[in-house]
Chains A and B, each alone.
Chain A
């Protein structure tokens, strides 16, 4: 048993060791053990309460974001789990689009919606004849929280709904027969039974908000920063590697524990309900509940994305395709200018290469960790660690370690693909793993007893059952690679920028034209990512949320 698990886990663990742990070790060495290193390098950390404040902010904004996300996700999960209606799977797919969108697009979408010259302000100023934009949320805590909720609520709703759907409906019936009304039943029966998925979703959301980078960097402005943005700042602008490394270490230790919590919670899969929910007719109240949930989810999802599209074709002179048309022109005569087509080609190329690596690694990781009984949650947390490691830390580690033998990848596109694979394969491992966990082991045993070789069992039993989750994992991996920003920002060579990098370059240049071009570029990226994701819906893979 152990031997097989080790055989399966070998490749993913080796990959993890070489490309995550070794670079992390490199950061440590570079920071504390190089010549002339001394603890005085860390003086800023101790002397300045600034870092403590940033850490404290990181913690509580993540906690607050998580609570708000869960508060939005629970009613959505209720409707998704308890009602069947036409277009439900499409709604779930649409609502999950933000989650697979690059953070940078989400951030840009929110500036397009709520920024001073955003769609909401433009509409309000038009409507009430105002001189100044009434909504001033940019560079405030609110926009960070809103963006985090927007980013994560559908994913959290899916995790909870997947579990909720399988809750035995007779639990609520039994509660009613014992005299409890609907509200009391919710608090005394349903909520306690949903504890595991709520905590699992919560820990994942917390993790994403804790290591949030693009949203904070672009929407938070100079006033707000997290450990993650501080690592970036220390590395790129202040060149204080020891400080950055220490912050990265603190972050990793913390995220590992959250990840372990998540992994162990996620392992308690719900037992399938003995009795399925009964079909029933809808009352007026049912219609109202479903309609408001569907409307709310659509509005929350489509408003920022719609604003992004609208603003990308809007200039002071009215609607125009100017920003798209000028994407290909090197207005400022930059040396490192790339056409958007090149950026799209780069992004898709890297994403496809990432798939080639992430699919086998993720699948092996899923098979290996599902088989493990003891320490399974710990191994899984280790395998999922890249989800919680800051992209900036990763990029930093690559820079300091993969620049010399035995692994000299300087200037090689391999470095980018490997970094993307690291952040992408956990998604494959999760989607495939959750499917495997739900699989009846007797199916394989039956095939074995009927004389099938292990290879045939895999091809004829496993593959037909897991291919949908494999496809889901593939789309996630593709989307993650398309949108990866933090690590790419540090390691991408100027000659082969990806779409997110191109967007970031446009954003960093002053001027309405450049901002419009950033929007246009974001729309392109959103289109490519959403197309891939909506394709998934055609595969009818409903349990995407169960990763």
Chain B
């Protein structure tokens, strides 16, 4: 895929990953990945198996890349073992030590700090306070709920004041309501500690919520690197569009006049070369209309799903089934009858596959 890799960051990079490749046996996991992260939070977003956790482990020093270099503040750290990099990591499912209590877990890394013992106790108390678990020090990790474990893991990762914080699916194993609540808290804490953070997730909503920049990964490469707003506004490739849940992609042919001819009819002009293109019909902001017209799509209503603030409709068209979100209280025709939908936002995707 000829997709753009890294774009120059607005602030100087702290972490640089340069042309890193990693394979297990003959199976490439990372292919020539480059990434730069500045202050703030960088999310690595991708479907499971895309290599994002491996990339994180390479940065952490838990895996050695076959090729390429990891630099921190300009210095190469590829040969520095994980325990000397001074990075903090929060593992998926937290990996709390079952043989230690909460205090033992949070204070595990403090043995290497030059803090005298009483001050260590104070530091642990401060950290537990920060994550909202004051007074939990002597509890066993078994006795904690999922959300509490997540906070202990965060406090543990923060205890050594890492130069870089890495979070691997930090909310992955929690249920939805808890996730939404903790997402807000996590954002607040990350902002307060002001440590550059890499946040690995497969959930675009999580990435959009916490990240200043998002790197989208697919099959071992970074296919997009941009701010959340930019990515949402213009996915650019069909992989990113589909990953973000935008599935209304139809094949078309751009003529010399710039008009794209599709099975659904002509769609008004966009600039670019002539030839086959893919059109993304944005599902959000679609409106129900009475009849055909420019930018209006026709078909039969296949199903409708009332979701409160919006109603999701599936429409059978000559180009297949497409899905749109209409305003919640739209008066819809009966399932199986004709329906006309005005699609205000149409984007051309610049990939051939």
Interface string of B36-65 (1 = CB under 8 A from A): 000000000000000000000100111100
Q: In the complex, how many angstroms separate the beta carbon of A193 from the nearest chain B beta carbon?
A: 6
In the complex, the answer to whether A175 meets B108 with C-beta atoms within 8 Å is yes
Q: How far is the CA of A171 from the CA of B62 in the complex (A)?
A: 12
* B156 interface residue per 8 A CB criterion: yes
- B89 — which chain A residues lie within 8 A by C-beta? 173-174, 177
Chain A residue nearest to B156 (CB atoms) is A178
- A278 — which chain B residues lie within 8 A by C-beta? 24, 63
**CB interface residues, A 76-101, toward B, < 8 Å:** none
Q: How far is the CA of A368 from the CA of B86 in the complex (A)?
A: 52
Chain B residue nearest to A179 (CB atoms) is B112
**CB interface residues, B 80-126, toward A, < 8 Å:** 81-84, 86-89, 91-93, 95, 97-99, 108-109, 111-112
Q: How far is the CA of A280 from the CA of B98 in the complex (A)?
A: 26
In the complex, the answer to whether B24 meets A279 with C-beta atoms within 8 Å is yes
Q: How far is the CA of A278 from the CA of B63 in the complex (A)?
A: 10
Q: Which of A177, A192, A274, A280 has the most CB atoms of chain B within a 10 A radius of its CB?
A: A177
* B282 interface residue per 8 A CB criterion: no
- B202 — which chain A residues lie within 8 A by C-beta? none
In the complex, the answer to whether A176 meets B82 with C-beta atoms within 8 Å is yes
Q: How far is the CA of A184 from the CA of B24 in the complex (A)?
A: 28
* B160 interface residue per 8 A CB criterion: yes
- A176 — which chain B residues lie within 8 A by C-beta? 61-62, 81-83
* A168 interface residue per 8 A CB criterion: yes
The size of the chain B interface, using a CB distance under 8 A, is: 30
* A64 interface residue per 8 A CB criterion: no
Q: In the complex, how many angstroms separate the beta carbon of A271 from the nearest chain B beta carbon?
A: 9
In the complex, the answer to whether A171 meets B97 with C-beta atoms within 8 Å is yes
Q: How far is the CA of A287 from the CA of B83 in the complex (A)?
A: 23
- Asked whether A180 and B83 contact (CB < 8 A) given A171-B97, A193-B98, A193-B99, the answer is yes
* B279 interface residue per 8 A CB criterion: no
In the complex, the answer to whether A174 meets B91 with C-beta atoms within 8 Å is yes
Chain A residue nearest to B54 (CB atoms) is A278
- A189 — which chain B residues lie within 8 A by C-beta? 97, 99
Q: How far is the CA of A507 from the CA of B95 in the complex (A)?
A: 57
Q: In the complex, how many angstroms separate the beta carbon of B87 from the nearest chain A beta carbon?
A: 7
Q: In the complex, how many angstroms separate the beta carbon of B245 from the nearest chain A beta carbon?
A: 28
Chain A residue nearest to B160 (CB atoms) is A179
- B91 — which chain A residues lie within 8 A by C-beta? 170, 173-174
- Asked whether A177 and B82 contact (CB < 8 A) given A170-B91, A170-B95, A195-B99, the answer is yes
In the complex, the answer to whether B109 meets A179 with C-beta atoms within 8 Å is yes
Q: Which of B60, B83, B84, B98 has the most CB atoms of chain A within a 10 A radius of its CB?
A: B83
Q: Which of B63, B82, B84 has the most CB atoms of chain A within a 10 A radius of its CB?
A: B82
Q: In the complex, how many angstroms separate the beta carbon of B258 from the nearest chain A beta carbon?
A: 51
- B98 — which chain A residues lie within 8 A by C-beta? 193
Choose one: B25, B81, B109; the contact of A178 (CB below 8 Å): B109
In the complex, the answer to whether A177 meets B60 with C-beta atoms within 8 Å is yes
* B157 interface residue per 8 A CB criterion: yes
* A181 interface residue per 8 A CB criterion: yes
Choose one: A179, A193, A274; the contact of B93 (CB below 8 Å): A274
Chain B residue nearest to A181 (CB atoms) is B83
Chain A residue nearest to B106 (CB atoms) is A178
Chain B residue nearest to A279 (CB atoms) is B24
**CB interface residues, A 215-259, toward B, < 8 Å:** none
**CB interface residues, A 153-197, toward B, < 8 Å:** 168, 170-171, 173-181, 188-189, 192-193, 195
Q: How far is the CA of A176 from the CA of B160 in the complex (A)?
A: 12
Choose one: B88, B92, B93, B97; the contact of A177 (CB below 8 Å): B88
Chain A residue nearest to B25 (CB atoms) is A279
Q: How far is the CA of A193 from the CA of B141 in the complex (A)?
A: 14
**CB interface residues, A 324-381, toward B, < 8 Å:** none
In the complex, the answer to whether B95 meets A174 with C-beta atoms within 8 Å is yes
Q: In the complex, how many angstroms separate the beta carbon of A177 from the nearest chain B beta carbon?
A: 4
Interface of A is mostly: helix
In the complex, the answer to whether B97 meets A174 with C-beta atoms within 8 Å is yes
Q: How far is the CA of A78 from the CA of B184 in the complex (A)?
A: 43
In the complex, the answer to whether B108 meets A178 with C-beta atoms within 8 Å is yes
Q: How far is the CA of A174 from the CA of B57 in the complex (A)?
A: 11
In the complex, the answer to whether B24 meets A179 with C-beta atoms within 8 Å is no
- A192 — which chain B residues lie within 8 A by C-beta? 99
- A175 — which chain B residues lie within 8 A by C-beta? 83, 97, 108
- Asked whether A280 and B99 contact (CB < 8 A) given A173-B82, A181-B81, the answer is no
Q: In the complex, how many angstroms separate the beta carbon of A172 from the nearest chain B beta carbon?
A: 9
Q: How far is the CA of A40 from the CA of B109 in the complex (A)?
A: 65
Q: How far is the CA of A495 from the CA of B165 in the complex (A)?
A: 77
Interface string of B239-276 (1 = CB under 8 A from A): 00000000000000000000000000000000000000
- A280 — which chain B residues lie within 8 A by C-beta? 24, 63
Q: Which of A170, A175, A178, A275 has the most CB atoms of chain B within a 10 A radius of its CB?
A: A178
Q: In the complex, how many angstroms separate the beta carbon of B21 from the nearest chain A beta carbon?
A: 14
Q: How far is the CA of A188 from the CA of B108 in the complex (A)?
A: 9
Q: Which of B97, B109, B112, B160 has the most CB atoms of chain A within a 10 A radius of its CB?
A: B97
Q: How far is the CA of A170 from the CA of B62 in the complex (A)?
A: 10
In the complex, the answer to whether A178 meets B24 with C-beta atoms within 8 Å is no
In the complex, the answer to whether B24 meets A173 with C-beta atoms within 8 Å is no
**CB interface residues, B 272-309, toward A, < 8 Å:** none
Q: How far is the CA of A280 from the CA of B160 in the complex (A)?
A: 29
Q: In the complex, how many angstroms separate the beta carbon of A278 from the nearest chain B beta carbon?
A: 7
Q: How far is the CA of A192 from the CA of B99 in the complex (A)?
A: 7
**CB interface residues, B 141-155, toward A, < 8 Å:** none
- B88 — which chain A residues lie within 8 A by C-beta? 177-178
Interface string of A271-300 (1 = CB under 8 A from B): 000110011100000000000000000000
Q: In the complex, how many angstroms separate the beta carbon of B325 from the nearest chain A beta carbon?
A: 36
Q: How far is the CA of A275 from the CA of B169 in the complex (A)?
A: 14
- B160 — which chain A residues lie within 8 A by C-beta? 178-179
In the complex, the answer to whether A173 meets B95 with C-beta atoms within 8 Å is yes
Chain B residue nearest to A180 (CB atoms) is B83
- B57 — which chain A residues lie within 8 A by C-beta? 173
Q: In the complex, how many angstroms separate the beta carbon of B154 from the nearest chain A beta carbon?
A: 13
- B108 — which chain A residues lie within 8 A by C-beta? 175, 178, 180, 188
Q: How far is the CA of A4 from the CA of B81 in the complex (A)?
A: 55
Q: How far is the CA of A175 from the CA of B157 in the complex (A)?
A: 10
- A188 — which chain B residues lie within 8 A by C-beta? 108
Q: In the complex, how many angstroms separate the beta carbon of A71 from the nearest chain B beta carbon?
A: 22
Q: How far is the CA of A261 from the CA of B160 in the complex (A)?
A: 39
Chain B residue nearest to A193 (CB atoms) is B99
- A279 — which chain B residues lie within 8 A by C-beta? 24-25
- A195 — which chain B residues lie within 8 A by C-beta? 99
Q: How far is the CA of A355 from the CA of B152 in the complex (A)?
A: 53
In the complex, the answer to whether B62 meets A173 with C-beta atoms within 8 Å is yes
Q: How far is the CA of A175 from the CA of B82 in the complex (A)?
A: 10
Chain A residue nearest to B61 (CB atoms) is A176
Q: How far is the CA of A176 from the CA of B25 in the complex (A)?
A: 25
- B60 — which chain A residues lie within 8 A by C-beta? 173, 177
Chain B residue nearest to A283 (CB atoms) is B64
Q: Which of B81, B88, B109 has the most CB atoms of chain A within a 10 A radius of its CB?
A: B109
- A275 — which chain B residues lie within 8 A by C-beta? 92-93
- B99 — which chain A residues lie within 8 A by C-beta? 189, 192-193, 195
Q: How far is the CA of A174 from the CA of B83 in the complex (A)?
A: 9
- Asked whether A168 and B95 contact (CB < 8 A) given A176-B62, A177-B89, A279-B25, the answer is yes
Q: In the complex, how many angstroms separate the beta carbon of B220 from the nearest chain A beta carbon?
A: 16
> Beyond the given A173-B62, A176-B81, could you list 7 further A-B residue pairs with CB under 8 A, ordered by the A residue number?
A170-B95, A173-B91, A175-B97, A177-B82, A177-B87, A179-B83, A278-B63
What are 24 A-to-B residue pairs whose CB atoms are below 8 Å? A168-B95, A170-B93, A170-B95, A171-B95, A171-B97, A173-B62, A175-B83, A176-B81, A176-B83, A177-B60, A177-B82, A177-B88, A177-B157, A179-B83, A179-B160, A181-B81, A188-B108, A189-B99, A193-B99, A195-B99, A274-B93, A275-B92, A279-B24, A280-B63
Contact residues of A with B, CB < 8 Å? 168, 170-171, 173-181, 188-189, 192-193, 195, 274-275, 278-280
8 residue pairs, one from A and one from B, having the closest CB atoms: A178-B109, A170-B95, A176-B82, A177-B89, A192-B99, A179-B112, A174-B95, A176-B83
